[in-house]
Amino acid sequence: MKSFEFLKMHGLGNDFVIFDNNENIEEIKNKKTLKKIGSRNFGIGCDQILIIESNNFKEAKVTIFNNDGLEAGACGNGVRCVASYLMNKGNTKNIKIKTISGNLDCWIENNNCFVNMGKPLFKWTQIPLAKKVESQIIKIDQFELYCLSMGNPHGVIFFEDEDELHKVDIESVGKKIQSNDIFPESINVEFACILKDKTIRMKVWERGVGRTLACGSGACATLVAAQHKNLSQRKNDIILDGGKLTINWLENEDIIMSGEVKLVFKGNFYCD
């Protein structure tokens, strides 16, 4: 029986299994193995699995998988966790994380880990959608989704207030929206409202994962959608089920995300 060393980390309860193991990358990437790792009953349990494929403490290549075994393009909280681990290991304050969706600069300030998530993408081919539309708004049943990409597809729904937000059956609505033919690669669905202090409350249904306590790329998408709808300034706090992220959409269009990350435990995963 083989075993692989791993780390368990989280950003606001958005939890990750991280492998820093160059020798067994292809074995870990097996879809059956990934699904077992991600299972909260038969494996370690997590929202996403991140594999550090190379690292010289200046830049690292990372592959990201959802817990259903399918590769993901972006994961802001997961990237921050990997960056925090590698910066601590290398005794440095900044690092570049290379993913299939782009290269992300990360750094540490005041015990928070920051990541530059890059620029949001708005073209229907970039999100992607199955057909050309005239605006960012896609209407499905009574819901209006503001659609964009943060390296992965997002649809943000705004509600009048927190009471309306809490009434939504996020699982049933999220699943129905994700299965709509307009989204050929499925979509992450964010449910949001503006609070009395002008911060943003957000819940999320992630593709390939389901309900999660936080979603970094989803928080970025929600801030962009809120700003475009004149509901928020370009910098704001996003309050998620697991805690708070600060999102800053710079004038050059780059989006900076910051918040806490935690190392939970280290261990060995045993695989037949």
Write the pLDDT tens digit of every residue in 81-99: 999 999 999 999 999 999 9
Same domain assignment for residues 240 and 264: no
In this structure, are 267 and 181 located in the same domain? no
Model confidence band, residue 243 (pLDDT cutoffs 50, 70, 90): very high
The verdict on 102 and 167 lying in the same domain is no
The one catalytic residue among 81, 106, 147, 215 = 215
Check if 215 is active-site: yes
pLDDT given at position 25: 86
Active site residue 271: no
Domain that holds residue 216: 137-253
DSSP H helical segments within the chain, as ranges? 25-28, 31-38, 76-90, 162-167, 170-178, 216-228
Quick check: is 53 in a domain? yes
pLDDT, tens digit, for every residue of 15-46?
999 999 777 788 899 999 999 999 999 999 99
Longest dimension (CA), the chain: 56
CATH code of the domain containing 91: 3.10.310.10
Stretch 217-224: mean pLDDT, rounded? 97
Residue 33: what pLDDT? 94
| Of 75, 81, 193, 220, catalytic | 75
Percentage of the chain beyond pLDDT 90 is 92
Model pLDDT for residues 124-159, shown as the tens digit of each residue: 999 999 999 989 999 999 999 999 999 999 999 999
Within 119-208, strands assigned E span: 137-140, 143-149, 153-158, 188-194, 200-206
